[in-house]
Every structure is written in C-alpha cells, then in structure tokens.
Amino acid sequence: MIVLSAHRLFTPREEIRNPRIFIEDGIVSSISSPSEREVPLHATHIDFTATHPEAILAPGFIDIHMHGGAGIDLMRAAPNDLPRLHRFIATHGVTGYFPTTVAAPLDEIRAALDRLANAIEAGQLPANIRPQEARPLGIHLEGPFLSHKRRGVHPPENLLEPTPQLFDQLWQAARGHIRMMTIAPELPGAMETIALAAERKVCVSLGHSDADLQTSRAAIHAGARHATHTFNAMRPLDHRAPGIIGEDLSNDAITADLIADGIHVAPEVVKLFFRAKGPERAVLITDAISATGMPDGTYQLGPIQVEVKDGKCTHDGSLAGSVLTMDRAVRNLMQFSGASLQDSIRAATLNPARATKLPHNGEIAAGAGANFVLLNSSGEVLMTIIGGQI
C-alpha cells in the first residue's frame, strides 16, 4: 500500500484539506483525513507537505485532442518513438491522452489507426505502466469527415463524405479504439454515421463545420454530444443566424472544448466561452503538434508541413495546430477567464473524462486510477504520478 499526504486535494469536484490518499495496486482505495485513518505500518507513506508545504494534488490531466509533441507526429510515430512523447507530456501533467488523426489518404489513416491501437493495447498491460510516461486511452478521429469550407489545413483531396460503411472500416482498423470523432454534420450521410458512432459509444463531436443551427441541432438529436475546438474551423457566430457556434454555446446538454493558447481564440472570447459552458461543461485541449516542446522550424502534422515561429503554427498562412501544453492551458484559463484553479483543473480532468465517458479517469475517488499531478497554487507542475508510482 502507498499513502500520499498533501496540503490540499482537488478531486476536482471538491477541495479536501490535509488529505490522505490510500493506493493499492495502482488504484485509489480510499481518501481520508489524518484524524480518520492512520497510516498502516506496512504502507509506504509519502508526505508531500514535507517537501512542498503548499502543494495541491489533483487528477492527472487528460488531453482528448493532440497530434504529437517532442518532435513526434502521431500519424507517423513508430512504437519506439512513443516513450519520448509520453515522458514529455507527463512532465506537463498529462497522464492520459487521445492520439488524434488528420485527414490523409485512407491507407495512411488505416495504418495509423492500427499502430495507435497497438499502443493503446500495450498501455493497458499493468507491466507496461511506467511512472514517467502518459498513456494513450483512445483514438480521436479528426478527418476525413470534415467540411471543405471549414477544413482548416486538412488537405482537401483527403476529405470524404461520411457513410456508416466507411466509418465501420475505420472502426475495424482501430479495433474498436476510436473513442471520439470530429464530423461536419452538414455533409451527406453524416446523420446516419453519427447515429452508428454514438451507438458504439463514440463521443461524436461537431467541428470543421459550416453547419447552421438546425443542422447542428439535428446532429445532437442523432447522437452528437460535444464540439471540437470551439470558434476554430466553424461558421462564425452571427447574432441573427447563430449557426453551429450558437448551438455549441447555448446548449447545456453538450460539452465543448477550446484551445486556450491566446492565439486560436482571443483571451476575451475564452472568458465568454467559459461563462457560456460553465465549469461543468468546458473542456481544455491542446491540439498540440510534433513541434510542441521544440525550437522554431518546420514540422510534420500528418501529411502537412507546418511552419512554427514564436509559438504560432501555420501552413500556407492558416493556423495548423498548436505548441500548447496542458499545464499552460490550465494557467491560461485562469488568467483569461478569472476561473479558479480548481475549475481550471476540472476542465482538463473530469470534464474531458465525462465528455468521452472514460471510466475511472479524471477524478480522485475510490476505484479510480492513481494518476495525479502535484501543482503549486499558480498551476505549475511539480510532479506527475502515474499508476500510483512516484
């Protein structure tokens, strides 16, 4: 048994002072106060108050939309590349993530899905859980079912109209590990494809879309329950024809994510987004590419070459992902919106886990995986703990 003690704990639903977290076989068995339960004699007790008196324990961050980092592109990564990426994102508090595809030739997407499925299945084996490495939890299929008009940098020749049959082909290639799919609901065949994906428990997310309000509502009725990088690659909000963004912000039945790097969305609009979705439905993502953590230069995003300069990623003048890290996104949400640290942590932990229905993730509770991040009061990462291993 391992017992962790800290000054504060954000579960993140609640704040607990002077917690003791009891861990057995990588799982949280209970949470108590020092007065409620003594540390057993046989247990390993790690008291963070001795080394970090004001530190806060929180669930490990979950990034449901990221394409790479540390020079590694997830569409092309070989198995021996992934530990470097996993160590890098763990230093920024991420303990689990969704490797995310881009539009590419179908053969390349299928091959990437197969490799990513291998990585997910390998990471599910207890012997492969390493305390310094984040784990892939499921695949986010972004492309090929995107709008030509709102495709961003996704190559137009690789965009396809969705059909249940084509989705099933990709599902089979991923061996059922697709947990999230971004789709433009106005495309022919989208409603039937959304219904099938939702039936298979995929978090269907509306994005890269020029949909109007009625089409967006029809997609939610068909099974969509989330929105991808709100404001980016979407029909702009109009006060008389609110479109997809109007539905995204006003519908309390769906969650929505946002890239809070101050480049994709202005800080003032981040504040509006957080006010609209609230601390229960706002989700932070990075949309990070292989350039994250690397110097300025030219990097890959699937089949696309991206120029990175001064923290901005572009392809032919259009934004192409980000170099944002999740800990920075948490701090930015605090700075831009005035959100508390607890609510900002929730947007990077419990909310993405609930949006994608990840069991035993995103919170610290009995039965949950012992995946934590230790933070100071400014949201800077002091330590990341994966599988209860320090």
Q: Is the pLDDT at 127 greater than 70, yes or no? A: no
**pLDDT (0 to 100) of residue 104:** 97
Map residue 46 onto helix, strand or coil: strand
pTM of the model: 0.97
**How many whole angstroms separate alpha carbon 86 and alpha carbon 134?**
5
Handedness of CA 84, 86, 87, 88 (dihedral sign): positive
The verdict on domain 61-359 having CATH code 3.20.20.140 is: yes
pLDDT band (50, 70, 90) for residue 124? confident
- Intra-chain end-to-end CA distance of the chain, in Å: 13
pLDDT band (50, 70, 90) for residue 370? very high
pLDDT band (50, 70, 90) for residue 314? very high
Q: What is the pLDDT of residues 265-274, one digit of tens each?
A: 999 999 999 9
Tell me the β-bridge partners of 196.
none
63 tagged catalytic: no
Helix axes 106-123, 164-173, angle to 10 degrees: 50
pLDDT band (50, 70, 90) for residue 168? very high
Q: Is the pLDDT at 169 greater than 90, yes or no? A: yes
**How many whole angstroms separate alpha carbon 255 and alpha carbon 359?**
17
Q: What is the pLDDT of residues 71-101, one digit of tens each?
A: 999 999 999 999 999 999 999 999 999 999 9
The mean pLDDT value for 320-349 works out to: 98
Which one of 73, 248, 287, 343 is the catalytic residue? 287
Structural Rg of the chain based on CA atoms: 20
Sheet containing strand 297-301, edge to edge, reads 297-301, 304-309, 312-315, 318-319
Among 261, 301, 240, residue whose Cα is nearest residue 102: 301
Domain map of the chain by residue range? 1-59+362-390, 61-359
Q: Is the pLDDT at 192 greater than 70, yes or no? A: yes
**pLDDT (0 to 100) of residue 126:** 74
Q: Which amino acid is at 23?
A: I
In Å, how far are 30, 85, 181, 233 from 288, measured between CA atoms?
A: 35, 12, 17, 16
**How many whole angstroms separate alpha carbon 319 and alpha carbon 305?**
12
Q: What is the pLDDT of residues 198-254, one digit of tens each?
A: 999 999 999 999 999 999 999 999 999 999 999 999 999 999 999 999 999 999 999
Q: Is the pLDDT at 34 greater than 80, yes or no? A: yes
**pLDDT (0 to 100) of residue 37:** 86
**pLDDT (0 to 100) of residue 33:** 85
Q: Is the pLDDT at 129 greater than 80, yes or no? A: no
Q: Which amino acid is at 351?
A: N
Q: Look up the CATH number of domain 1-59+362-390.
A: 2.30.40.10
Q: Is the pLDDT at 134 greater than 90, yes or no? A: yes
CB 307 within 8 A of CB 314: yes
**pLDDT (0 to 100) of residue 125:** 78
